[in-house]
Amino acid sequence: MSIAPIDKPTIPVAIVGPTSYTGLFLIRWLRLHPQAKVTYLASQRDQLPNIAEEFPQLRGVCELQCRPIDPAAIANEAELVFTCLPHVAAMEHVPSLLDAGLKVIDLSGDYRLKDPAVYEAYYKHKHSDIARLSEAVYGLPEFFADDIAGADLVSNPGCYPTAAALAVAPLVKAGLVKPAGIVINAATGVTGGGRRPSPAFHFPEANEAFGPYNVPGFHRHQPEMEQTITAVAGTPTRVLFVPHLLPVNQGILETIYLDPVDADLTADAAYDVYEQAYGDEPFVRIRNELPNISHVRDTNYCDLTARTAGGKVIVFAAIDNMVKGASGQAIQNMNLMFGLDQTAGLL
Amino acid sequence: MSIAPIDKPTIPVAIVGPTSYTGLFLIRWLRLHPQAKVTYLASQRDQLPNIAEEFPQLRGVCELQCRPIDPAAIANEAELVFTCLPHVAAMEHVPSLLDAGLKVIDLSGDYRLKDPAVYEAYYKHKHSDIARLSEAVYGLPEFFADDIAGADLVSNPGCYPTAAALAVAPLVKAGLVKPAGIVINAATGVTGGGRRPSPAFHFPEANEAFGPYNVPGFHRHQPEMEQTITAVAGTPTRVLFVPHLLPVNQGILETIYLDPVDADLTADAAYDVYEQAYGDEPFVRIRNELPNISHVRDTNYCDLTARTAGGKVIVFAAIDNMVKGASGQAIQNMNLMFGLDQTAGLL
Amino acid sequence: MSIAPIDKPTIPVAIVGPTSYTGLFLIRWLRLHPQAKVTYLASQRDQLPNIAEEFPQLRGVCELQCRPIDPAAIANEAELVFTCLPHVAAMEHVPSLLDAGLKVIDLSGDYRLKDPAVYEAYYKHKHSDIARLSEAVYGLPEFFADDIAGADLVSNPGCYPTAAALAVAPLVKAGLVKPAGIVINAATGVTGGGRRPSPAFHFPEANEAFGPYNVPGFHRHQPEMEQTITAVAGTPTRVLFVPHLLPVNQGILETIYLDPVDADLTADAAYDVYEQAYGDEPFVRIRNELPNISHVRDTNYCDLTARTAGGKVIVFAAIDNMVKGASGQAIQNMNLMFGLDQTAGLL
Amino acid sequence: MSIAPIDKPTIPVAIVGPTSYTGLFLIRWLRLHPQAKVTYLASQRDQLPNIAEEFPQLRGVCELQCRPIDPAAIANEAELVFTCLPHVAAMEHVPSLLDAGLKVIDLSGDYRLKDPAVYEAYYKHKHSDIARLSEAVYGLPEFFADDIAGADLVSNPGCYPTAAALAVAPLVKAGLVKPAGIVINAATGVTGGGRRPSPAFHFPEANEAFGPYNVPGFHRHQPEMEQTITAVAGTPTRVLFVPHLLPVNQGILETIYLDPVDADLTADAAYDVYEQAYGDEPFVRIRNELPNISHVRDTNYCDLTARTAGGKVIVFAAIDNMVKGASGQAIQNMNLMFGLDQTAGLL
């Protein structure tokens, strides 16, 4: 669509690591964006593919040739770069990209956990860029829009923590629920595991299957959830996170169990808190119906539904792990960093 | 296979409501049973089909013609009848089948809840056979084998309650976990919803989808869980049950969160309790690995795995909803009622 | 997106029968269209739903209330109407919608077959609007763009015939293949069967399943294929069409076997013909790689790949049955009817 | 089940390569076999797993430790060995297993093609055991039962060729259809591709997807089909084979298009030929209804359905690729080699 009015300039953007699923989704969504354009694809592979060979669905849509990760060359053709590299690889490249004058939105886990010791404990690797770690802004726009707008380096949140923080933080902040004993029972589609083939994601193993996949309490996203909820709520908060693998391509559903401070708490009270927190947010849908990942598929929405039963508050949060949980949220962050309407290209 | 030794007689059995999924699974599994044979299929339909027209996969396997539900005629050709009717319809037929001298295993919900008031509250129908209700034995062999052995009417447990009771009851009984605040987060394959087409089970709606499907705390299986756990543990127990629908054909996974009585409780202690409860049980597999519904698919096993984290005991229970959760358990009950090894035809 | 330049007016459109899958896809795609806007949803249901109750994924996207099918009222708020009704119902409403001054794009089968006798033979219903039938333009833009541009009534092609005609017609027209003995072996996702629950589309029946579903040679789409290919090629052409049902939501793949006129025919010769026929067409991708329905999912593309082997020309055609096979093509037709770029809102 | 009468000895069998899907299916089906018992699992891996670690579903079912491939040790504990190795690896081990006195059923492609030159052309490897190649009996019991009964080395047929030969050979032999221009359009579940993870079988790529996967005419199973049909029919026969990948775990459907010798041929004539060929065969179901892979799932049946239309004979053949297409047929062959009823353990 070449219909962007003349007075709205187009942002040239680069993607480092475009052969990932997050790369694919960025390319597809940015194509619909009225004010951004992908100009550079940079890969760390030895054999640099044309992106349409890698993803045949991109034939005729985007046929850029991948080029090496050369910060100066990228900076010559782009103002912003999305880094879609695995952790560790990300923090090896982000500093030089920033030094080359680019804004960076990093989709890995490398800049999410503020405490390097926690990072090391969960990612099993020493953090190599602690200086940037403290500068990086956590890119959850519903909570940190102002900081994101002024940032050079945005750390795009994990998929599960996006849904969990949006669902839990306002309730803790409002004092409705206890900041401990929170159970986050979650399930994700298989794209959440990335594009590298492995036995767990081999079709005959993942199809017609369902089960938990990490020792409860040991997933990297658990400290990230706690960090964000604690920061937003202003109260140290602990969660127990148990992820499961669903036989679908995309989607996350979190079924969250919280203990109310007041035993008589109603779902209406939770809805009131959500309305106050998100009434103006374009990507949080406060819904009365029970949710389904199919309702948010291929959208940047986070759907929230609340109930009370059995002495618990039960909150359901649904997102598309590839969109609000990854590439869509990255574009939302880009919009904020460049002064655009945060919904540009996303609604 | 006609290899059953001569001194082991064959039990002739009937199925009422064979055009259901539970009927189909009974037919398929009973075909492999060395000492039982399906002799009569009785349907309440106006047009009585040959069962192989109804289920083309049964061509050459079982081509019985369905006949009317005539208790005397059934009793003429069978000693036991499995009733696979919807609730309400079941309790309309069970009394006359018993009166005709048949043993009955009922797979509906009609004889599960001992308190008629609870039945009425959850099934929205007045119970019409309260006399039989109190006589019916709840057919969960791991807890009630002796009663089942002597019963004329066995009420086959619900799918979710089978897994929940096996997972929770021993822990409550042993005093390891609190009998309240128990969260049973569960997911089932679509056969759990029966064979009648409906919007929720229409392929394009259920495929690539996942979500909760009942108001938390209002599913009929919740009071059934509480009744069984309370009976086995000897302690009034309350659970919060939240079911979800999975895009698979068969399988139930329950992820259960319990509060330990002693904060230092280890998973090993839970495993010890399970070993004592189920060490000799052929269909409970106490496993250290994380479970998956694919591990129990088309088997009569219930897999149990325990962990501790975040101040909670987390127990995973996996069954095939059509086998241990329905037809397989019904055959296990039949074996007990006729003095056979309870594994006959099931391993 | 309110970024359409001022000099491009917005077309107000209505959808009759919006609670169908074709209705849903029209609503979603039209939302992204820079120059069209859905203003009226008309349903023949007794209970008129808000469309977001019917399709929860539309919350916040489109929350229009359905209204009765009142041609005058529709004409008051729209210039064009998409009719997404079942056949027979469509031809009951199309005449009055046209009479009210609306342009109509009909997505049913009612106006596709030019010969009323053939219609009656395949749809088992007498055609009630023969006058309009001869006026209706068959909306396959790659062949009939000029006629579409001037039409008041466009009959949107069937999903299978769209792929078949695009794949076969140029080869017959160029004299490369024989106009008889053409085998169209095809498979579709389940949305192709509509939104009404039925045993064949019940999740446990359609999942992990695959099979043919119509007596070969008797599907309504076969005469439609022959009519279009014959018209485009100028040679009477006969095909044998065998459809299968795939356990996926969206997508059609046709594997087409043709007899070459010249036994030495190469795939290159077929590609040359395709290049001449479609070199400038934005929605036909002539591809060398083997196709997959996943490559065209949620796009308006038709992918074509050719091979020769075993004395046959083999052509693969892939489309998304809901997009190029239904709602996307309908929008492409709308664009032509209103003088817009035919790709508006579709790329 | 230990109910085998005393006078029927149990055959001790070994599996070489048990960590494959064919190995898994052999273990599961042999467990139900009244006269065979798996005594030895031999793997070429460096780390020899317990088979229940490799396949958690086997916990409590089979927990044998894998051991090295030592022919003498295997011969000490078994009379028959199933080799489930990849091609090339198979022919490296088969000779020494035979020399150790074992009967061998080889499930690889190494002994299927009688002409070493054809083998080399399609498997891209020189055949290293030509002597055994000519002795090996092709294990399709419906055609070669007598030879199988006397064989020491049986080459278990490929999955696709099993269905194709059963469907086509009788029709060619009877002179009903032409032995050329036969189109075999086929689709398989993903287990057909083996257990090694790869991009094409990565869940997000194979799910919601469907497409052809080999250059038409170049799959290794094409010459195997032609060899078998030619041998059975006594007429040199050529086929065009086009395989597709289905998003299901198990199942093959072949939709086969043949040219009748007599244009007036009816489906009844084809059915007559099938009745004569397979009337007594326990695993071929001649069916009038349209087939589905779900009808043969987890069975050793091959379902055949015939139609005529558009001047063609259309035959549908459905099998479970893992059962009649691999491990089930291997057991059927074992039964024949040991003088058992060929259905033992399979019905």
Task: Give the ipTM.
Answer: 0.96
Region B144-150: mean pLDDT is 98
Give the residue among A17, D293, D82 at the shortest CA–CA distance from C206: D293
A198 touches chain D (CB under 8 A): yes
Within 8 A of A294 by CB-CB distance, chain B residues are 205, 208-211
- Average pLDDT rounded to a whole number, residues C18-45: 97
Taking CB atoms and an 8 Å cutoff, what residues of chain D touch A249? Answer: 203-204, 207-208
CB contact under 8 A, B206 and C203: yes
* Residue of B183, B210, B266 to mutate, testing the A interface (most A Cβ within 10 Å of its Cβ): B210
**pLDDT level of residue A60 (50, 70, 90 thresholds):** very high
3-state SS, residue C51: helix
Which residues contact residue B147 at a Cβ distance below 8 angstroms, ignoring those fewer than 6 apart? B137
Q: Is the pLDDT of residue A158 over 80?
A: yes
Best mutation target, D25, D202, D246, to test chain A (most A CBs within 10 A): D202
Closest by Cα among C290, C294, C295 to C306: C290
Q: Which residues of D touch B299 (CB under 8 A)?
A: 57, 61
Alpha-carbon torsion C115, C119, C120, C126, what sign? negative
Asked whether the predicted pLDDT for residue B3 surpasses 60, the reply is: no
**CB B183 to CB A310 under 8 A?**
yes
- List C residues 262-301 in contact with D (Cβ-Cβ < 8 A): 290-295, 297
Q: Nearest C-alpha of chain D: how many angstroms from A201?
A: 6
Per-residue pLDDT at C217: 79
Of D4, D285, D297, the CB nearest to B59: D285
* Nearest-CB residue to D249 (from A21, A195, A208): A208
- Going by their DSSP bridges, the two strands B312-319 and C36-42 should be labelled as unpaired
CA distance B167 to B161: 10
User: Closest-CA residue in chain B for C204?
Assistant: B249
D26 to chain A nearest CA, in Å? 17
Closest CA to B167 of B294, B310, B313: B313
Residue B208 with chain A: CB contacts under 8 Å: 248-251, 293-294, 297
Amino acid at position D120, single letter: E
Q: What is the mean pLDDT of residues A183-210?
A: 98
Confidence of residue B187 (pLDDT cuts 50, 70, 90): very high
Is pLDDT at A4 greater than 70 in this prediction?
Answer: no
- Shortest distance between the Cα of D200 and any Cα of chain A, in A, equals 9
Closest residue in C to A204 (Cα–Cα):
C208
User: Does the beta carbon of B101 lie under 8 angstroms from any beta carbon of chain A?
Assistant: no
Give the pLDDT band of residue C200 (cuts 50, 70, 90).
very high
pTM over 0.90: yes
Beta-sheet strand order (sheet of D137-138) = D36-42, D11-16, D80-83, D103-106, D153-155, D137-138
Amino acid D2: pLDDT: 41
What b/e readout covers B27-48, taking b as 16+ CB neighbours within 10 angstroms? bbbbbebbbbebbbbbbbeeee
Of A207-221, C7-21, D102-116, highest mean pLDDT? D102-116
pLDDT value at residue B2? 42
Say what the pLDDT of residue B311 is.
95
Contacts of D249 in chain A (CB under 8 A): 203-204, 207-208
Cβ B318 vs Cβ B160: under 8 Å: no
Burial class (CB in 10 A: 0-12, 13-18, 19+), B200: middle
Q: Which residues of D are the active-site residues? A: 159
pLDDT higher than threshold 50 for residue A112: yes
The verdict on B44 touching D (C-beta cutoff 8 Å) is no
Q: At D45, phi and psi to the nearest 5? A: -70, 155
Q: What's the confidence (pLDDT) of residue C5?
A: 46
Q: What is the pLDDT of residues D61-91, one digit of tens each?
A: 999 999 999 999 999 999 999 999 999 999 9
Q: Find, among B345, B322, B320, the residue nearest to B334 by Cα.
A: B345
Q: Do strands A182-188 and A239-245 pair parallel, antiparallel, or not at all (unpaired)?
A: parallel
Is C257 in Cβ contact with D257 (below 8 Å)? yes
Q: Touching check for D49 and chain B: CB below 8 Å?
A: no
Cβ(A59)–Cβ(C295) below 8 Å: yes
| CA B43, B49, B51, B56 torsion-angle sign | negative
- List all residues of chain C from 157 to 186 with a beta carbon under 8 Å from chain D: 180-181, 183, 185
C218 pLDDT more than 90: no
Distance from the D26 Cα atom to the nearest Cα atom in chain B, whole angstroms = 15
**pLDDT of amino acid A1:** 38
Residue C267: its H or E element: helix C267-278
Q: Does D310 touch chain C (CB under 8 A)?
A: yes
Report residue A175 as tokens. 């004092």
Q: Would you place residue B5 in the very low, low, confident or very high pLDDT band (cuts 50, 70, 90)?
A: very low
Q: Is C256 on the interface with D (CB under 8 A)?
A: no
B21, B199, B203 member nearest C207 (Cβ)? B203
- Tell me which residue of A176, A155, A288 sits closest to A235, measured CA to CA: A176
**Least CB-CB distance to D56: which of B60, B295, B347?**
B295
Using the beta-carbon criterion (under 8 Å), do B32 and D32 form an inter-chain contact? yes
Flag if D211 and C239 touch (Cβ within 8 Å): no
Q: List chain D pLDDT tens, one digit each, 347 residues.
A: 344 444 567 999 999 999 999 999 999 999 989 999 999 999 999 999 999 999 999 999 999 999 999 999 999 999 999 999 999 999 999 999 999 999 999 999 999 999 999 999 999 999 999 999 999 999 999 999 999 999 999 999 999 999 999 999 999 999 999 999 999 999 999 999 999 999 999 999 999 999 999 988 789 999 999 999 999 999 999 999 999 999 999 999 999 999 999 999 999 999 999 999 999 999 999 999 999 999 999 999 999 999 999 999 999 999 999 999 999 999 999 999 999 999 999 98
Q: At which residue do the structure tokens 């794949």 appear?
A: C167
Interface test with A, best of C27, C50, C59 (most A CBs within 10 A): C59
CB contact under 8 A, C292 and D211: yes
Q: What six digits make up the tokens of C322?
A: 């809901």
State yes or no: pLDDT of A346 exceeds 60.
yes
State whether residue A201 sits within 8 Å of chain D by CB: yes
pLDDT of residue A216: 82
List of chains touching C (3+ CB pairs within 8 A): A, B, D
Nearest to D259 by CA among D155, D340, D177: D177
Classify residue D25 as exposed, middle or buried by CB count within 10 Å of its CB (0-12, 13-18, 19+): buried
- pLDDT band at residue A7, thresholds of 50, 70 and 90? low
> Would the CB atoms of A294 and B181 count as touching at under 8 Å?
no
Which residues in chain A are closer than 8 Å to D202, comparing Cβ atoms?
195-197, 201-203
Instruction: Decide if B340 contacts B35 (C-beta within 8 A).
Output: yes
Phi-psi region at A234: left, alpha or beta (left = phi > 0; alpha = psi -120 to 50): left
* Of B269, B283, B303, B297, nearest in space to B347 by CA: B283
Q: Which of D210, D213, D293 sits opposite C209 (nearest CB)?
A: D293
B203 to C249: CB separation less than 8 angstroms, yes or no: yes
> Would you mind telling me the total number of residues written for chain B in this entry?
347
Distance from CA of C14 to the nearest CA of B (A): 25
Mean pLDDT over the full length of chain C:
96
- For residue B159, the distance in angstroms to the closest alpha carbon of chain A comes to 17
Secondary structure class of B232 (helix, strand, coil):
helix
pLDDT for the residue numbered A2: 41
Mean pLDDT, chain B, rounded, equals 96
Chain-chain contact of A207 with D249 (C-beta, under 8 angstroms): yes
**Residue A243's closest chain B neighbor by CA?**
B255
Q: What is the DSSP letter of C169?
A: H
Q: Active-site residues of A: which are they? A: 159
Q: From the CA of C109, how many Å to the nearest CA of chain D? A: 23
How high is the pLDDT of residue B253? 98
> B144 to chain D nearest CA, in Å?
23
pLDDT value of position A5: 45
Tokens at D143, concatenated? 């055609």
In this complex, how many residue pairs, one in chain A and one in chain B, have their CB atoms less than 8 Å apart? 144
How far apart are the C-alpha atoms of C39 and A2, rounded to whole Å?
25
- Spatial separation of the C-alpha atoms in residues C108 and C249, rounded to whole Å: 20
Structure tokens, C213: 């579903």
Known catalytic residue at B62: no
Closest to B163 (Cα-Cα) out of B273, B292, B252: B252
CA-to-CA dists, residue D57 to B250, B289, D106, D299, angstroms: 15, 11, 25, 19
Nearest to D83 by CA among D101, D103, D64, D63: D103
Q: Residue B5: its chain D contacts at CB < 8 A?
A: 3, 5
Instruction: Name the residue of chain D whose CA is nearest to B293's CA.
Output: D57
Query: Cβ(B224)–Cβ(B164) under 8 Å?
Result: no
